[in-house]
């Protein structure tokens, strides 16, 4: 298995892409001007407690620029700095299925004319993937490499309520199950480790539950605090905690990986932010979290999926 994973102790997306496309492939983050029902008043106006007004937009993206221009300049910059020649167009900011199917069809197809774009990734909420939109994504996925990224975050109902997500566990399950009826769509779960009042056992159970639901990929995030969020107030009042020490996060991340299905592709091991960051400070280091997790995997001679078939809490 470790050989298949390029010597890593987890099934990394980078290695997977190199195997699939024969070279490095980079994501280009895009902001297609969507909003989110949890901000525009449909479900609420405050948003999730950890989300700032940028809706998880990448720092280098200018939302006022047309999407095709964002993609063109993103590819140019990444190509100059990394030498990459192939890209995934990543619809990242806010909820990228929050529009009528005809609008989405035009948008998703607009990036496909770029010959260097080998795939697309669409990030959205689990309550924003009705069947007609899944059908559209499946149609694209028949021709192109596609990831549908769902903001699952946790499988604990009470936490979803505390986060002010505006959806529950049932919608998480329903979105994954319906997406799985379309065999060409790769489904990814965004999961946050270290959410308020979640125990280590509950974090491990999250890994096991998304594994059993059959997702194909995961993005692991640690909880971090940025300015202009409800979480920032809670943190300053001492009512919310984060993994201040990267070692503490690395330990729980390793246990999460050990309980994850081994064929799930791990797109990221932790979050990253610089703009408006309050805590933990290591969030601004793109590599430190990964380095610590890999060190621990080696130190304990362990790997992704080690306990998937024999639960270990």
For ligand SF4, which residue of 119, 126, 151, 271 counts as binding (CB under 6 A)?
151
State the Cα–Cα distance between residues 38 and 213, nearest whole angstrom. 25
- Residue (37 or 262) nearer to ligand SF4, CB: 37
Residue 12 DSSP one-character state? B
- Residue (12 or 95) nearer to ligand SF4, CB: 95
For ligand SF4, which residue of 17, 28, 36, 89 counts as binding (CB under 6 A)?
36
Shortest spacing between CB 99 and ligand SF4, in angstroms: 14
How big is the site for ligand SF4, counted in residues (CB under 6 A)?
Answer: 12
Q: How far is CA 229 from the centre of its chain?
A: 19
Which of positions 48-87 make contact with ligand SF4 (CB under 6 A)?
A: 48, 51, 55-56
Shortest spacing between CB 56 and ligand SF4, in angstroms: 6
For ligand SF4, which residue of 47, 119, 271, 280 counts as binding (CB under 6 A)?
47
Shortest spacing between CB 53 and ligand SF4, in angstroms: 9
Which of positions 277-306 make contact with ligand SF4 (CB under 6 A)?
A: none
Which of positions 89-108 make contact with ligand SF4 (CB under 6 A)?
A: 94-95
Residue 256: Cβ within 10 Å count: 23
Shortest spacing between CB 115 and ligand SF4, in angstroms: 31
229 is a site residue for ligand SF4 (CB under 6 A): no
299 CB-contact burial (10 Å; exposed 0-12 / middle 13-18 / buried 19+): exposed
- Residue (93 or 107) nearer to ligand SF4, CB: 93
From 32-40, 172-180, 183-191, 232-240, span contacting ligand SF4 (CB under 6 A): 32-40
Where do the H-state alpha helices sit in 112-245? Answer: 131-143, 157-162, 169-180, 200-213, 230-236
Contact (CB, 8 A) for 206 and 156: yes
- Strand pairing report for 277-279 and 225-226: antiparallel
State the Cα–Cα distance between residues 264 and 261, nearest whole angstrom. 6
State the Cα–Cα distance between residues 192 and 206, nearest whole angstrom. 10
Which of positions 119-138 make contact with ligand SF4 (CB under 6 A)?
A: 125
- Residue (223 or 257) nearer to ligand SF4, CB: 223
Contact (CB, 8 A) for 69 and 32: no
Q: What is the dihedral of CA 248, 249, 254, 257, to 10 degrees?
A: 160
Q: By the criterion CB under 6 A, which residues form the site for ligand SF4?
A: 36, 38-39, 47-48, 51, 55-56, 94-95, 125, 151
């Amino acid at each position: 298995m470790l050989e298949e994973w390029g010597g890593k102790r987890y099934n990394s997306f980078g290695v997977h892409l190199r195997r699939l496309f024969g070279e490095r492939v980079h994501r280009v983050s895009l902001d297609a001007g969507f909003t989110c029902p949890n901000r525009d008043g449909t479900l609420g106006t405050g948003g999730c407690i950890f989300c700032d007004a940028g809706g998880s937009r990448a720092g280098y993206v200018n939302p006022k620029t047309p999407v095709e221009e964002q993609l063109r300049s993103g590819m140019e910059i990444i190509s100059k700095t990394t030498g990459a020649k192939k890209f995934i167009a990543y619809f990242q900011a806010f909820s990228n299925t929050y529009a009528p199917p005809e609008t989405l069809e035009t948008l998703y197809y607009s990036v496909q004319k770029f010959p260097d774009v080998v795939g697309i990734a669409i990030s959205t909420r689990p309550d924003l993937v009705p069947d007609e939109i899944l059908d559209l994504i499946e149609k694209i996925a028949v021709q192109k490499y596609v990831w549908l990224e769902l903001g699952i975050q946790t499988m604990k109902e009470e936490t979803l309520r505390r986060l002010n997500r505006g959806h529950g566990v049932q919608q998480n399950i329903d979105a994954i199950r319906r997406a799985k009826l379309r065999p060409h769509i790769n489904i990814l779960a965004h999961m946050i480790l270290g959410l308020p009042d979640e125990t280590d056992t509950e974090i491990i159970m999250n890994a096991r539950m998304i594994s059993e639901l059959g997702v194909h990929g995961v993005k692991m995030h640690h909880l971090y605090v940025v300015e202009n969020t409800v979480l920032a107030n809670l943190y300053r009042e001492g009512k919310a905690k984060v993994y201040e020490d990267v070692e503490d996060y690395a330990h729980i991340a390793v246990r999460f990986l050990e309980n994850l299905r081994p064929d799930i592709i791990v797109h990221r091991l932790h979050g990253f932010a610089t703009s408006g960051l309050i805590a933990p400070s290591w969030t601004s280091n793109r590599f430190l979290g990964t380095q610590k997790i890999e060190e621990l995997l080696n130190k304990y001679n362990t790997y992704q999926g080690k306990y998937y078939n024999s639960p270990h809490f």
